Amino acid sequence: MVQEFKDFISKGGVFQAAVGLILALAFVPVIDSIVEHILMPIVAAIVGEPNFNTIGFDLGDARIGVGFVITAIVSFVSVAFVLFLLVKAYNQAVPPEEEDAGPSEVELLTEIRDSLANR
């Protein structure tokens, strides 16, 4: 069991996942700032309030805060959109690696023909 754990830890996937998680956690304040200081003020300009937290209704002695859910959904969609734009920009900036396509069908058939002819 100890050897299995060592094998698990020594594989690159765990280390890469840890680095990815640390970078993601460091990136959270950037995304939060974009949402809080750019996107939500735009929403406030359109709707007239900085968030939807005041929307709700009373049910007996309890306050049902539907607006908090709406604000969370708007924040989530905003974060997803910002990340989409960043990934799209990254993909355009970094060209994909070209894979070696290997020989074409004609080249393979030619090799087979030549191999059979040399027998």
Whether residue 41 lies inside any domain: the answer is yes
Long-range contacts of 4-12 (CB under 8 A, 24+ apart): none
Whether residue 72 lies inside any domain: the answer is yes
Whether residue 8 lies inside any domain: the answer is no
Whether residue 42 lies inside any domain: the answer is yes
Write the secondary structure of 71-103 as one string of H (helix), E (strand) and C (coil). HHHHHHHHHHHHHHHHHHHHHHHCCCCCCCCCC
Whether residue 15 lies inside any domain: the answer is no
Q: pLDDT in tens for each of the 119 residues of the chain?
A: 888 877 777 776 777 788 888 988 888 888 788 878 888 788 788 878 777 788 888 889 998 988 888 888 888 887 788 788 888 888 888 777 777 777 888 888 898 888 888 87
Whole domain around residue 63: which residue ranges?
29-97
Whether residue 58 lies inside any domain: the answer is yes
| Backbone φ and ψ of 64, nearest 5° | -95, 110
| Backbone φ and ψ of 80, nearest 5° | -60, -40
Whether residue 21 lies inside any domain: the answer is no
Whether residue 16 lies inside any domain: the answer is no
* DSSP, res 48: S
Query: How many folded domains does the chain comprise?
Result: 1
The answer to whether the pTM exceeds 0.75 is: no
